[in-house]
């Protein structure tokens, strides 16, 4: 008889990040989101201007620290808030906003190294674009990986070219695959970001993205629901075309079918989003994050399903 909760301490039917961290570090681990003030080739004109159409002014760092403050100050402020909830936690410094490998290695060292000197920091998580990792950067990341717990998070969002063009991603699937392979050759953990509900994508296309990722040597995935935020190109497109937005029920159904396609050892770092309530246009149901999480749990139990179920039948 199968155990539907092999990678969870709280009866989740998927491989939870909390379970992974507890087994890796044997204590509570929290991520501190930082804004190091990096740019992006899709902003500065190297590849384009304006960024991906869904990006807010903070470049996907809405809940990161204040980029006007030094990184150590950002870290200390957020850490203190987290310690009120988890007094004995250790921390991963999460470089979240924009492309955090998009600079010369000397600059990366100035940003990353001071955090590693803090006794309460056990690792780094670096979010970036797959087309901003140079050979010199790879060498440095390999060095970091030998000195601390390191994860590189790559924004893919979708494998489908028509959608990538629509959202102005301006990086290719080949560049993504090259980055994954180059990082894994150096034994660096890779987490991939995808977005459900991108304009005009079908349910089948969203599931195809996960099937593709399941064939790669990745260690984790973040599943987001598309946020339509104020003052973004996406908001203008939505106002003009009123493209369909997934209902909560549709999102829950798609996520469950995606989880069924994923190898059980792939860690689910995120399964819904945290939009800024003051900036969100649609979908409003995203504001009730725990309702979404609970609905996923309840529907998985109702279907008697779990992460990797479809793979076990192949």
Mean pLDDT confidence for 204-216: 98
Provide the CA 31 distance to its chain's centre, in angstroms.
Answer: 12
Backbone angles phi, psi at 98, to 5 degrees: 60, -145
Residue listed under structure tokens 């201007």: 49
**Average pLDDT, whole number, for the chain?**
94
Contact in structure between 222 and 194 (CB atoms under 8 Å): yes
The model's pLDDT over 1-57, given as tens digits with 9 standing for 90+, comes to 567 788 999 999 999 999 999 999 999 999 999 999 999 998 888 998 888 999 876
CATH number of the domain located at residue range(s) 17-312 in this protein: 3.20.20
Given a cut of 80, is residue 165 above it in pLDDT?
yes
Both tokens of 208, joined, read 């195809």
Confidence of residue 189 (pLDDT cuts 50, 70, 90): very high
Q: Specify the pLDDT at position 48.
A: 87
Backbone angles phi, psi at 128, to 5 degrees: -160, 175
Q: Specify the pLDDT at position 104.
A: 97
Pick the closest to residue 223 from 30, 17, 64 (CA basis).
17
Q: Check residue 56 and give left, alpha or beta (phi > 0: left; psi -120 to 50: alpha).
A: beta
CA distance 6 to 180: 27
Indicate the domain borders of the chain: 17-312
Q: Which pTM does this prediction carry?
A: 0.95
Q: Specify the pLDDT at position 61.
A: 47
Is the Cα dihedral 31, 61, 295, 163 positive or negative?
negative
Contact in structure between 287 and 240 (CB atoms under 8 Å): no
The model's pLDDT over 93-136, given as tens digits with 9 standing for 90+, comes to 999 988 999 999 999 999 999 999 999 999 999 999 999 999 99
Mean pLDDT confidence for 279-302: 96
Mean pLDDT confidence for 292-314: 92
Both tokens of 6, joined, read 């092999």
Given a cut of 60, is residue 170 above it in pLDDT?
yes
Q: Specify the pLDDT at position 49.
A: 85
3-state SS, residue 145: helix
Question: Burial of 83 by CB count in 10 Å (0-12 exposed, 13-18 middle, 19+ buried)?
Answer: middle
Q: Specify the pLDDT at position 233.
A: 94
């Amino acid at each position: 008889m199968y155990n539907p909760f092999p990678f969870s301490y709280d009866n989740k039917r998927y491989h939870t990040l909390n379970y992974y961290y507890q087994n890796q570090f044997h204590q509570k681990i929290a991520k501190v989101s930082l804004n190091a003030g990096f740019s992006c080739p899709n902003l500065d004109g190297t590849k384009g201007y304006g960024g991906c159409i869904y990006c807010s002014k903070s470049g996907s760092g809405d809940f990161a620290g204040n980029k006007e403050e030094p990184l150590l100050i950002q870290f200390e402020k957020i850490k203190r808030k987290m310690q009120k909830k988890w007094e004995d936690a250790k921390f991963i410094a999460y470089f979240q906003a924009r492309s955090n490998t998009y600079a010369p290695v000397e600059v990366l060292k100035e940003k990353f190294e001071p955090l590693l000197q803090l006794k309460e920091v056990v690792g780094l998580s670096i979010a970036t674009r797959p087309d901003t990792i140079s050979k010199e950067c790879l060498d440095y990341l390999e060095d970091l990986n030998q000195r601390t717990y390191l994860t590189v998070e790559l924004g893919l969002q979708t494998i489908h070219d028509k959608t990538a063009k629509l959202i102005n991603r301006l990086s290719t699937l080949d560049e993504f695959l090259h980055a994954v392979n180059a990082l894994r050759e150096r034994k660096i953990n890779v987490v991939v970001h995808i977005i459900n509900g991108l304009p005009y994508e079908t349910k089948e296309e969203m599931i195809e993205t996960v099937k593709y990722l399941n064939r790669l040597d990745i260690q984790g995935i973040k599943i987001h629901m598309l946020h339509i935020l104020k003052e973004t190109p996406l908001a203008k497109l939505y106002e003009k075309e009123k493209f369909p937005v997934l209902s909560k029920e549709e999102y829950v159904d798609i996520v469950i079918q995606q989880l069924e396609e994923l190898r059980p050892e792939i860690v689910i770092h995120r399964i819904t989003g945290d939009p800024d309530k003051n900036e969100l246009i649609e979908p409003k149901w995203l504001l009730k994050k725990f309702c979404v999480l609970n609905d996923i749990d309840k529907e998985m139990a109702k279907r008697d399903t779990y992460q990797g179920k479809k793979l076990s039948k192949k």
